[in-house]
Amino acid sequence: MADFKAKYGSWAMVAGASEGLGAAFAEALAKRGLNLILIARRLDKLEALARKLKEIYRVEIQVYTLDLSDFVAVKKTHRLHGKAIGLLVYNAAYAPIGYFENISEESLEQIVDVNVKAPLLLSKLVSKQMIDRKKGGIVLMSSLAGTQGSPKIATYAASKAFNSILAEGLWNELKKHDIDVLASCAGAISTPGYKNAQNTKDAPGTLSAKQVAEDTLNALGKGPTTIPGMTNKLAQFFMNRIFPRKWAISIMDKNTKDLS
Ligand SMILES: NC(=O)c1ccc[n+]([C@@H]2O[C@H](COP(=O)([O-])OP(=O)(O)OC[C@H]3O[C@@H](n4cnc5c(N)ncnc54)[C@H](OP(=O)(O)O)[C@@H]3O)[C@@H](O)[C@H]2O)c1
């Protein structure tokens, strides 16, 4: 755990930290002794989390209420903060559920802004400083939904594919600067967001947010991609290596049809 702080530096930023997996990442990083910059839109949740983590782990925490779709505001906050960010965890996502014909243009733009533009530009901002310091880490939250076409969440899934591929490229480019980059391709996670969307019982292999956060941070520095959980690793193997592409998409169709 102490190694973790030495390797990445003393400040980590979690973008999308107010609940669910983002809050679990914040706790896992505080446990490793890192000070935190927490970003989300809901101040009350961020402040409650910051109070709890400060009390238990005695770390410094700064909270910022920001809409990550507003990149001008994100850039301003990044400058305001002034501290070197050693580790970025981009966790926020916007995932409207519905068939493409029923998703508004505004929603489609919001998916691109929150899930594609913000992680891309934040990675650019933080990696600049990391290159100068010759150390750092970037975690981009992706999803198994992004490993094949996923009906009813088609654009969200495509945005997650973007993050996986970006992370793989950056993993290779930035390793010469001692910067670790990782895409975490999670299966179902028991978070408020997932519970709201899931109308039936949890999907097989559903993990807790705590386990996904721990597995992901433990995988940082060991390769470009991780898939938390054995059931999910197996599912990914069959879906993307064994089954024909059309089967994989049909299986996703069956899995997503009850989402709302
Ligand atoms: N849950 C799953 O089953 C699952 C499966 C695979 C991958 N993932 C990935 O794991 C990550 C976390 O999932 P989750 O289920 O924990 O999501 P969630 O419950 O929807 O939480 C997302 C977090 O991001 C913040 N956020 C969302 N939009 C934002 C915006 N425009 N500006 C600032 N903050 C924003 C939310 O806080 P505010 O609302 O306070 O802003 C919240 O803290 C996502 O990247 C998701 O794609 C999740």
Question: How confident is the model at residue 78, as a pLDDT?
Answer: 76
**pLDDT above 80 for 81:** no
Distance from the alpha carbon of residue 39 to the mean position of ligand 1, in angstroms: 11
**pLDDT above 90 for 12:** yes
Give the pLDDT mean for 50-72.
96
Q: Is 228 in the pocket of ligand 1 (CB under 6 A)?
A: no
- Atom number, ligand 1, closest to the C-alpha of residue 191: 15
Tell me which residue of 55, 20, 60 sits closest to 40, measured CA to CA: 20
Question: How confident is the model at residue 83, as a pLDDT?
Answer: 78
CATH topology for the 2-256 domain: Rossmann fold (3.40.50)
Q: Which residue has the tokens 């989390």?
A: 49
- pLDDT tier at 94, thresholds 50, 70, 90: very high
- Atom number, ligand 1, closest to the C-alpha of residue 113: 31
Q: What mean pLDDT value characterizes the chain?
A: 95
Q: Among residues of the chain, what percentage have pLDDT more than 90?
A: 87
Q: Is 59 in the pocket of ligand 1 (CB under 6 A)?
A: no
Pocket test for ligand 1, best of 13, 14, 19, 97 (most atoms within 8 A of CB): 19
- pLDDT tier at 2, thresholds 50, 70, 90: low
- pLDDT tier at 82, thresholds 50, 70, 90: confident
Give the pLDDT mean for 137-166.
98
Q: Is 91 in the pocket of ligand 1 (CB under 6 A)?
A: yes
- pLDDT tier at 75, thresholds 50, 70, 90: confident
Distance from the alpha carbon of residue 56 to the mean position of ligand 1, in angstroms: 24
Rounded to whole angstroms, the Cα distance separating 91 from 181 reads: 14
Q: Which residue has the higher pLDDT, 3 or 124?
A: 124
Question: How confident is the model at residue 116, as a pLDDT?
Answer: 98
Question: How confident is the model at residue 3, as a pLDDT?
Answer: 87
Give the pLDDT mean for 186-204.
86
Give the pLDDT mean for 134-154.
97
Q: Is 180 in the pocket of ligand 1 (CB under 6 A)?
A: no
- pLDDT tier at 1, thresholds 50, 70, 90: low
**Two tokens, residue 129:** 């400083």
Q: Which residues are catalytic?
A: 156, 160
- Atom number, ligand 1, closest to the C-alpha of residue 193: 19
What are 152-185's pLDDT values in tens digits? 999 999 999 999 999 999 999 999 999 999 999 9
Q: Which residue has the higher pLDDT, 82 or 58?
A: 58
Question: How confident is the model at residue 139, as a pLDDT?
Answer: 98
**pLDDT above 80 for 85:** yes
Question: How confident is the model at residue 69, as a pLDDT?
Answer: 96
Distance from the alpha carbon of residue 113 to the mean position of ligand 1, in angstroms: 14
**pLDDT above 90 for 124:** yes
Rounded to whole angstroms, the Cα distance separating 73 from 107 reads: 20
Q: Is 162 in the pocket of ligand 1 (CB under 6 A)?
A: no
Rounded to whole angstroms, the Cα distance separating 257 from 260 reads: 8
Residue nearest to atom 34 of ligand 1 (CA): 40
Per the CB < 8 A criterion, the answer to whether 219 and 226 are in contact is: yes
- Atom number, ligand 1, closest to the C-alpha of residue 206: 3
Q: Is 96 in the pocket of ligand 1 (CB under 6 A)?
A: no
